[in-house]
Amino acid sequence: MATIGLIKECILALGDRTGSSIPAMNKWIESEKSTVVKKHIMKAALKSGVEKGELIQVKMSYKLSADAKKELKKGPAKKKVAPKKKTTVTKKKTAPKKKAAPKKKTAPKKKAAPKKKTTTKKAAPKKKTAPKKKKTTTKKTKK
């Protein structure tokens, strides 16, 4: 996909009212399309988009022109798909399968040694909390 096409799709997806900045566009392209557009290629595409009238530059951001928005929202014209021809499936005859040689009996397996029971550790006793401090009150003396 051409860079200008990527930029148009990006601006439409971000949908900022005041336009999309170059870092925001680069971040969107990286996350959605998993590609990286080099800085000089991005600048050249933006410049050509402004010259053609597809993009409008607002300070350091870019917006889609009204004509470009209409084209992108309609989407590309769908091509008519030619009807597929019906194909008949022919089944191949398979050769009769040979019987497998009888399997030899294997010696019975020895039982595994009984597993030892694991002991569960007891929970550590809870730590004792420090006794609460008593409130000290001063006694009032009568004069």
Instruction: Say how many residues make up the chain.
Output: 143
What pairs with residue 61 in β-bridges?
Answer: 21, 58
31 φ/ψ angles, rounded to the nearest 5 degrees: -75, -40
Q: Where are the domains of the chain?
A: 3-67
Domain 3-67 sits in CATH 3.40.50.2300: no
97 φ/ψ angles, rounded to the nearest 5 degrees: -80, 140
Residues 43-78 pLDDT 10s = 999 999 999 888 899 988 999 888 777 777 776 555
Q: For 73, how many CA atoms within 13 A lie in the half-sphere containing its CB?
A: 8
Query: At residue 16, does pLDDT exceed 50?
Result: yes
Q: Let me know: does 8 contact 54? Beta carbons within 8 Å.
A: yes
Residues 89-134 pLDDT 10s = 666 666 666 666 666 666 666 666 666 666 666 677 777 777 777 7
- Calpha distance 94→77 (Å, rounded): 48
